[in-house]
Amino acid sequence: MSGRKTSNWWTFWGILILIWAAFPLLWMVSLSFKDPTTFRSAEPSFFPQEWTWTNYETVFSDELFTSALRNSFGIAIIATAISVVIAMFASYAIARLDFRGKKLLLSMALGIAMFPQAALVGPLFNMWRGLGIYDTWIGLIIPYLTFALPLSIWTMSAFFRQIPWEMEQAAQVDGATAWQAFRKVIVPLAAPGVFTTAILTFFFCWNEFLLAISLTSTDRARTVPAALSFFTGASQFESPVTAVMAASVVVTIPVVILVLLFQRRIVAGLTAGAVKG
């Protein structure tokens, strides 16, 4: 009986928290379907009285948004790919090899992760203009890598450490070169870790706002979070709120898809059965 009671409590709190967390999201979706001219009507309602795609049409016909979407995808994917590859090698080295300055490297990585980004914006702005990479993709990818790498290295080296040494030694005895052992044994075993890290990095780059708005000025490199703040409605006299909401829904979709797609891969446990459990 008491077990039943507690599980009821869990359900109750679970639903409460779910509503709490989902409310803004639902509100966002609902707003994005409301008519931009009449959404501030006299009798407010949670759901739109009239469902309309106008806002989506507005955002997708707006060059500001579509170019921002392109930039966002490009920059996030490139930054993620580079960061994952570098982090994979770096964390393998950290987990497996003994080299001088390992501790220093790790603590520096942590230090960078803790460093307030806001403090860097000013200097970066000046440096990037001097170097001529202000308002370019590369100008955003570089600082994204800086902030994404430490976290990636820390997460991935934890995954590499879990893989028994003997896997690799067995591969070497079986005739594999160090590279083959890494590629055919270590990487597949570390795949959940690699995916987790890749997704985290992608989210970071996708959602980043501060650097995106400070280091860009035009459509060339402005990403969606930054572009949203420049939104106006279809005309000057229209409130942009519903259009902004539609754009927000659009940028949320890739994140949701990614999580749904990889949630099983994120769950570790692939090494079960490697050694006597």
Footprint of another protein (CB under 8 A) = 164, 166-167, 169-177, 180, 184-185, 188-189, 191, 270-276
**Residue 7 Cβ vs another protein, minimum distance, rounded to whole Å:** 31
* Amino acid found at 101: G
Percent composition of the chain: helix, strand, coil (DSSP 3-state, to 5) = 75, 0, 25
Residue 167 structure tokens:
């896997």
Residue 217 phi/psi, 5° resolution?
-135, -15
CB closer to another protein out of 37 and 172: 172
CB closer to another protein out of 78 and 167: 167
Q: Is 82 in contact with 59 (CB distance < 8 Å)?
A: no
CB closer to another protein out of 97 and 275: 275
CB closer to another protein out of 78 and 274: 274
**Residue 164 Cβ vs another protein, minimum distance, rounded to whole Å:** 7
* The residue to which tokens 């290295």 are assigned: 153
**Residue 165 Cβ vs another protein, minimum distance, rounded to whole Å:** 9
CB closer to another protein out of 184 and 220: 184
**Residue 269 Cβ vs another protein, minimum distance, rounded to whole Å:** 10
d(CA 186, CA 165): 10
Contacts of 153 (CB under 8 A, 6+ apart): 87, 90, 91, 94, 106, 109
**Residue 193 Cβ vs another protein, minimum distance, rounded to whole Å:** 13
